[in-house]
């Protein structure tokens, strides 16, 4: 490493300074004095990297990454202090350097810091809320949160958990967009949260034989105007339940959609209605939020000062408002002033615009005395557009009972949190719900395989039993004890149901579960080597793009089962071809 030291510090540390200059070019607005400050910071980073990195070959890349993160953190801190001193001095959407996709807003933080909240939980919130939030994260996300609470740097977190930049950003987005984040709202009053989430809904009733809607249902609704602030308060108090069993996840919108929404409200322009279905459960009336989850969630985020208005997508961002002015004689009068909302949080708005936001009228349609199948009917119809994915739409076609069985695995089981290879976007789109449905089909109803998600959901709703879901949970519990990251890529959203169906056959062999993981590793090695007698199976069946047809699914399961029997040197494999291989 002596050669590295000489390379970077010859000619008055010319190479190290050049690296700093290159990073700072992305930001702009850096004075000569600032450059000297960042050179000093670079010296500190260099020493730390020298201690950690003992491979000269990868030193340059590692140093650049650490240095870039450190400089970005320092600029974030400085800009935050500057913003607190003069909030109107610079727009949050000012591009950094020549990169239009990277703005000052991307390196600024709101005053809400989830890691700070969690580290001071005894002073702010009861332990139950904190535990519920942490338990909703997967293992990697929880590790990230715990390390950030200890002020571990981003580069050190990535190195410790072995995360790429993309994997880290995806996990960070999941942490910040976790639906449990609302537990930490200011003055949160949702003491009923556990009760709401654990509520045991009645099963879906049968529709009338003639397919007609009851007269009581057709006439039992009302449309009102409600202030936005009142609706957000009802969410906080638990009077509106956002957790209906087939409701999709929040945080589905793009930045452009979010900013259009905020600018529209602050310009006092109408938005689509909110839909609530009231259902009697026992002696309790529950108001389920059926349409409007994204609107109320993002309104809540703005009110809680977690998200500012950004320029992308926002329209009419200069808003006229009435401002009280006192003249030299002490008389007060109102004048028309203009306020630019770009870069502003709720707390930055003048009182007039804060009041406009809180009192913003939203049309709310309430349906009364709803049965579960009517609630799902409304959810399907109000979301009958491209925004609802096939997976999200599919689960609205099953009973509450089946939805509970599916989500107990897709959202709560550790295997689907930590082992299944699924990114944040697909998790929010309900893809894991579909994976569970396909797994139940592959393990129990392969002869009746359904290609389309909605058909698979409907089939298992009609035929799957509680014991079949419990059996799947038992298999997942066993795999959790032996699986590791070396087989995670095989448990993709495309092939998880295939491998779980093969594991279901494996359990009859009387072999230790760890041996199944060894078999998976052996297959993965062959998969990437392209060698061996099974190349035709790998190339034409396993890697086929036609992943949903019955023939491909059956051929995959049979092919992997045959390979498994050969791996364990089991001669009697007649049972392998117990399924029909025709499409």
What would the pLDDT profile of 99-131 be if each residue is shown by its tens digit?
344 444 443 445 556 666 665 554 444 567 778
pLDDT of residue 56: 64
Comparing 48 with 207, which gets the higher pLDDT? 48
Give the integer Cα–Cα distance in Å for 433 and 410.
Answer: 6
Q: Are residues 166 and 197 both part of a single domain?
A: no
Tens of pLDDT, residue by residue over 237-247, are 889 999 888 88
121-130, 144-153, 368-377, 475-484: range with highest mean pLDDT: 475-484
Domain boundary at 331, 365, 382, which? Answer: 382
Per-residue tokens: 131: 């535990």
Q: Check residue 556 and give its pLDDT.
A: 94
Residue 101 lies in a domain: no
Q: Answer whether 322's CB lies under 8 Å from 352's CB.
A: yes
Asked, for residue 56, whether it belongs to a domain, the answer is yes
**Beta-bridge mates of residue 443:** none
Q: Which pLDDT score is estimated for 386?
A: 47
* 70-74, 440-444, 549-553: the lowest-pLDDT one: 70-74
Sign of the Cα pseudo-torsion (48, 52, 54, 55, in order): negative
How far is it, in rounded angstroms, from Cα 19 to Cα 21?
5
Q: Do 153 and 198 share a structural domain?
A: no
How far is CA 9 from each of CA 31, 46, 283, rounded to the nearest angstrom?
23, 11, 76
- Mean pLDDT to the nearest integer, 373-395: 79
Are 570 and 431 contained in the same domain? yes
Domain shared by 230 and 281, yes or no? yes
Q: Angle 127-129-133 (CA atoms, 0-180°, nearest 5)?
A: 115
| Residue 567: inside a domain | yes
Task: Enter the DSSP assignment of 151.
Answer: T
Which of 157-161, 162-166, 252-256, 576-580 is the least confident region?
Answer: 576-580
On average, the pLDDT of the chain sits at: 82
Sign of the CA dihedral running 8, 11, 13, 15: negative
Separation of alpha carbons 154 and 496, rounded Å? 31
**Residue 100 domain-assigned (yes or no):** no
pLDDT at 226: 95
Residue 448 clears pLDDT 90, i.e. is over it: yes
Least confidently predicted of 8-22, 47-61, 87-101, 152-166: 87-101
Q: Would you say residue 98 lies in a domain? A: no
Q: What is the pLDDT of residue 465?
A: 96
Supply the pLDDT for residue 216: 58
Domain boundary among 364, 382, 400: 382
Predicted confidence at residue 452, as pLDDT, reads 92
Return d(Cα 484, Cα 489) in angstroms, integer: 10
pLDDT (0 to 100) of residue 125: 47
SS3 of residue 359 by DSSP: helix
Segment of 64-78, 189-203, 500-514 carrying the highest mean pLDDT: 500-514
Nearest 5°: the CA angle 499, 503, 508 is 160
More reliable by pLDDT, 300 or 184? 300
Are 512 and 406 part of one and the same domain? yes
Most confidently modeled of 92-96, 175-179, 335-339, 472-476? 472-476
pLDDT at 33: 64
Last residue in a domain, options 382, 407, 427: 382
Residue 85: pLDDT band with limits 50, 70, 90: very low
| Range list of β-strands (E), 66-140 | 95-96, 99-103
Region 471-500: what's the mean pLDDT? Answer: 94
Q: What DSSP element (H or E) covers 274?
A: strand 274-281
pLDDT at site 151: 79
Average pLDDT for residues 163-191, to the nearest whole number?
79
Q: Is residue 583 situated within a structural domain?
A: no
With 0-12 CB in 10 A as exposed, 13-18 as middle and 19+ as buried, what is 171? buried
CB atoms within 10 A of CB 376: 24
Q: Residue 187's pLDDT is what?
A: 56
Summarize the confidence of residues 267-272 as an average pLDDT: 95
Task: Give CA–CA dist 406/469, Å, rounded.
Answer: 8
Task: Please report, rounded to a whole number, the percentage of residues in the chain having pLDDT higher than 90.
Answer: 39
Residues 208 and 314 reside in one and the same domain: yes
Q: Are residues 234 and 269 in the same domain?
A: yes
Q: Is the pLDDT of residue 518 over 80?
A: yes
Asked if residue 103 belongs to a domain, the reply is no
Reply yes or no on whether the pLDDT at 8 is more than 60.
yes
Query: Does residue 555 carry a pLDDT above 90?
Result: yes
Q: How confident is the model at residue 381 (pLDDT cuts 50, 70, 90)?
A: confident
Tokens for 230? 């009142």
Percentage of the chain lying above the pLDDT 70 cut: 79
**Confidence at residue 463, expressed as pLDDT on a 0 to 100 scale:** 96
- Whether 492 maps to a domain, the answer reads yes
Res. 206: pLDDT tops 80: no
Do 488 and 522 lie in a common domain? Answer: yes
Residues with Cβ < 8 Å from 145, sequence gap 6 or more? 114, 115, 118, 134, 137, 175
Residues 303 and 445 in one domain: no
* Domain assignment of residue 340, given as a range: 193-382
Same domain? 567 vs 426: yes
Q: How many Å apart are CA 352 and CA 335, to the nearest integer?
A: 12
| Three-class secondary structure of residue 28 per DSSP | coil
Res. 192 pLDDT band, cuts 50 70 90? very low
Please tell me the least confidently modeled range out of 14-28, 29-43, 206-220, 403-417.
206-220
Q: How many structural domains is the chain composed of?
A: 4
Whether residues 370 and 498 share a domain: the answer is no
pTM of the predicted structure, to 2 decimals: 0.56
* 304 & 222 share domain: yes
């Amino acid at each position: 490493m002596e050669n590295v030291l000489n390379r970077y510090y010859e000619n008055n540390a010319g190479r190290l300074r050049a690296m700093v200059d290159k990073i700072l070019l992305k930001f702009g607005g850096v004075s000569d004095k600032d450059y000297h400050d960042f050179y000093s910071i670079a010296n500190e980073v260099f020493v730390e990297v020298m201690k950690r990195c003992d491979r000269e070959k990868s030193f340059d890349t590692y140093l650049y990454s650490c240095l870039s993160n450190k400089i970005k953190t320092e600029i974030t801190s400085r800009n935050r202090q500057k913003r607190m001193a003069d909030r109107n001095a610079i727009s949050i959407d000012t591009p950094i350097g020549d990169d239009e996709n990277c703005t000052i807003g991307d390196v600024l933080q709101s005053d809400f810091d989830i890691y700070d909240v969690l580290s001071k939980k005894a002073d702010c919130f009861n332990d139950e809320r904190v535990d519920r939030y942490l338990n909703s994260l997967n293992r990697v996300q929880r590790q990230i949160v715990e390390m950030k609470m200890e002020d571990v740097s981003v580069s050190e977190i990535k190195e410790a958990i072995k995360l790429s930049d993309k994997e880290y950003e995806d996990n960070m987005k999941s942490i910040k967009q976790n639906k449990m984040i609302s537990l930490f709202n200011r003055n949160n009053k949702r003491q009923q949260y556990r009760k709401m989430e654990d509520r045991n809904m009645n099963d879906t009733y049968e529709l009338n034989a003639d397919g007609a809607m009851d007269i009581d249902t057709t006439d039992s609704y009302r449309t009102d105007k409600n202030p936005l602030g009142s609706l957000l308060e009802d969410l906080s108090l638990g009077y509106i339940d956002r957790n209906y069993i087939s409701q999709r996840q929040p945080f589905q919108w793009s930045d452009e959609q979010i900013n259009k929404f905020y600018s529209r409200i602050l310009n006092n322009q109408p938005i689509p209605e909110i839909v609530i279905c009231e259902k009697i459960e026992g002696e309790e009336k529950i108001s389920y939020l059926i349409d409007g989850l994204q609107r109320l969630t993002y309104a809540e985020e703005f009110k809680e000062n977690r998200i500012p208005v950004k320029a992308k997508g926002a329209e009419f961002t200069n808003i006229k408002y009435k401002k009280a002015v006192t003249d030299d004689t002490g008389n007060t009068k109102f004048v028309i002033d203009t306020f630019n909302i770009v870069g502003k949080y709720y707390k930055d708005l003048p009182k007039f615009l804060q009041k406009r936001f809180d009192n913003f009228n939203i049309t709310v349609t309430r349906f009364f005395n709803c049965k579960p199948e009517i609630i799902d009917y409304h959810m399907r119809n109000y979301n009958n557009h491209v925004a609802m994915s096939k997976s999200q739409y599919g689960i609205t076609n099953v009973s509450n009972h089946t939805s509970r069985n599916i989500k107990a695995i897709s959202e709560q089981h550790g295997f689907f949190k930590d082992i299944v290879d699924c990114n944040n976007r697909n998790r929010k789109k309900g893809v894991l719900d579909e994976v569970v449905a396909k797994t139940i089909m592959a393990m129990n109803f392969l002869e009746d395989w359904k290609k389309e998600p909605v058909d698979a959901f409907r089939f298992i709703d009609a035929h799957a039993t509680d014991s079949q879901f419990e059996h799947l949970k038992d298999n997942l519990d066993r795999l959790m004890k032996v699986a590791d990251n070396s087989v995670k890529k095989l448990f993709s959203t495309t092939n998880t149901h295939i491998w779980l169906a093969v594991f279901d056959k494996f359990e009859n062999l009387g072999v230790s579960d760890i041996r199944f993981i060894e078999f998976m590793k052996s297959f993965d090695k062959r998969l990437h080597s392209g060698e061996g007698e099974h190349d035709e199976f790998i190339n034409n069946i396993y890697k086929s793009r036609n992943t949903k047809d019955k023939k491909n699914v059956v051929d995959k399961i049979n092919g992997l089962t045959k390979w498994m029997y050969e791996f364990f040197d089991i001669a009697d494999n007649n049972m392998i071809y117990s399924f029909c291989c025709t499409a």
